[in-house]
Structure 1
Amino acid sequence: MDEGYILEIRQGIGGDESICFLKDLKKMYIKFFQKKKLNYKILLNLEKEIIIELENSIYNNFLFNESGIHRVQRIPKNETQGKMQTSTCSIFFKKNIKNENFILNNKELKIETCKSSGSGGQHVNTTNSSIKITHLPTKIFVECSDERSQLLNKTKAIKILNFRINKFLNEQINFKNNLNRKNVIFKSERSKKIRTYNFQNNKIINHLNNNNCFQLNKVLNGDLDILFKN
């Protein structure tokens, strides 16, 4: 991608339900990209954090407005008393500015291997495929265990590490952008809302213009045009 943009989705308030909501948002955006035939790459796919690189498109202005706190109201699947829970995720969309002066030096990397944990079956748990790479000057690190192959995990981890270091360096230069990102990502307060997804009433509340949409299922299936036009 000659000119790329970054979409970050992070867990906010709400524990496991927030993680489930993160997965819903990931599917929603990917289905939207696919329907619009936009090129995208998933740079990071963790339980609590998703980073997607997206090509430049006519939808950038709409996606910039997605940055902020997205709130979900629904009854969790494991809730036995039928109580509705409110959880959040944070979205941050920005241009992917690459620092051409930075070159990742292998001598500055600490590479550790260990057995993968979590789901994945016997193949994952019996091989030392998980990789942790730390960039010693900045202390930035990446852990990757998505792939069964240690080599694939290492390749993916280095790519993500390079992205994170570039992002760190650019944010050092661009203090304003850094401040905006911190406000969006790290202050996941319910008061800083962009949108509320209410499953009980099949309703989405757009807090930017106070409009309501009663097509939640379609929106979660990638039909974001409904919200962009509303």
Structure 2
Amino acid sequence: MSYEYALIQEALLEGKANVVRDLTKDALSKGIEPMTVLEKGLLPGMRIISEKFKNNQVYISDVLIVSRAMHAGLHVLKPILSEAQQSLKGRVVIGTVAGDLHDIGKNLVVMMMRGAGLDVIDLGVDVQPEDYVQAVVEYHPDVLAMSAMLTTTMGVIPETIQELEQKKLRDRIKIVVGGGPTTKDFADKVKADGYAAEATEVADLMERILSDH
């Protein structure tokens, strides 16, 4: 079956979304398990592009093109994975905090998480504390990720954590934070469970976080 996986990986790295979609469907039609297609076809390609980005060998635009192709494959797999009651490695709710409309960094983090095999619910930008709380209630994530790109919006992060504590939801999830003005010290101060300075660190961070969950 290695030939099918090689074709998927090649199309993925070339950013050919339609080809990735068709090859994913073809692999499933041959009886290959959806989780196997994900783990042996799609994820290795994402790991390659993530490593290249980390080493400054490709640009963000290259990563986003590959991400689009990854989504095409995931779009085929996700309904079948759900039907088979197979899960991805974990579920994450993510958003940029209230008052902040920056989404390029957050979108890149979403891509890295999905590339690492995580089920990601993206709440978008300008997310109020109560919206994060509602998403935790609705989606039952393993991790809540909050991004702030402005010093003036960083305060929404501890506000959200306080809301979760008041609703007795804080202990159910891990919280990770990131974004331009955030630091490890800030993450420690607000009692977050994890912090990533760069999008390239996200996959490793999530692996550590989820292994402790």
Give the TM-score of the pair, scaled to structure 2. Answer: 0.30
Q: Larger % of strand: which?
A: 1
Higher Cα Rg, which structure: 1
Give the TM-score of the pair, scaled to structure 1. Answer: 0.28
Q: Tell me: higher relative CO, structure 1 or 2? Use CA pairs within 8 A at least 6 residues apart.
A: 1
Q: Larger % of helix: which?
A: 2
